[in-house]
Every structure is written in structure tokens, then in C-alpha cells.
Amino acid sequence: MTVYDENWVAAEEAKRQWMDANGLYKTDDEHASCGVGLVVSINGKPSRQVVVNGINALKAVWHRGAVDADGKTGDGAGIHVQIPVPFFYDQIRRTGHEPDLDKLIAVGQVFLPRTDFGAQERCRTIVETEVLRMGYYIYGWRHVPVDTSVLGEKANATRPE
């Protein structure tokens, strides 16, 4: 488990300085996430109420975000939630494998070109090549279900796959 102490802060600052010196970081871009809210369970236990409160907090500041003329396409604001590890174990089992419960797992979210299937395949090949090159195992790809009926016209036209 990561310990967020002075050593962690110093290491993160060293990374930022290295990125700045190598053209990978611009302090001018430090306006990102200018409106961040945090809703947590202070007892450390997962709770649906935390999610409900997060959604309500987001709704309360809808006027701070951008909305397209279609009235549905937003600026991408949303919430982040923890997904329990057993969910991913179930997904691994669906691929016909048994997860090694003694090892950490990593989950990647990759947005692929929606209509260019050749480009999709090239992207998958690049991702798989690099993941395998780093010594990891790939259990499979999963298409995440999306309810496109709630998307605005512009969002639907420009969404990735």
C-alpha cells in the first residue's frame, strides 16, 4: 500500500521536475481539475450513499461545466469510484482463466477509434506488444457496456469505442 508521506511528496516533486526539464510537463497547464470535489466514507467502508452523494454534488455544480447546444453533451465531468477486486476476478474467470490471488492485477482502459477497425486492431497490437514486453500477462479484452441513449448528438458522434 502506498504511504503518502513526505518521502512520497518529495519523490513526486522530483518526477515533476524531471518531466519539466525534459519537456513533458508545463506549469501553464496547471489549470486542469480546477473544480474538484471529494466525497468519502469516513469509516472506510464502501457505501452506495457515497456514490449517490457524489452524483448529487456533481449535479449541484452543473452550471460550472460546459453543455453543448443539444442540451446533453457535457464536458466529461463525472465521478471516480473504486471497483472491488472480486469484480475483476470474475471477469478473468469469464475468459477461462483462474486468477492468481497472490499476485496484483492491473486493469487498463483503452479508448479505440470507433469506426476504423484497422486502426482499432493496430492500437490493440501496440498495447498488447508493450504490455507483454514489460513481462505482464493479458487475460483478455472486455467491451465495457455503454448506454448510448443518454448521449447527446455531438457526444455520440465523437465517442471512442
Identify the band that residue 34 occupies on the pLDDT scale cut at 50, 70 and 90. Answer: low
Catalytic residue numbers read 34
Identify the band that residue 32 occupies on the pLDDT scale cut at 50, 70 and 90. Answer: low
Full-model pTM: 0.59
* DSSP result, the chain: ----SHHHHHHHHHHHHHHHHTTS--GGGTTTT-S------TTS---HHHHHHHHHHHHHTGGGS-B-TTSS-B----------HHHHHHHHHHTT----TTS----------SS-HHHHHHHHHHHHHHHHHTT-------PPP--GGGS-HHHHHH---
Residues 90-94 have a mean pLDDT of 93
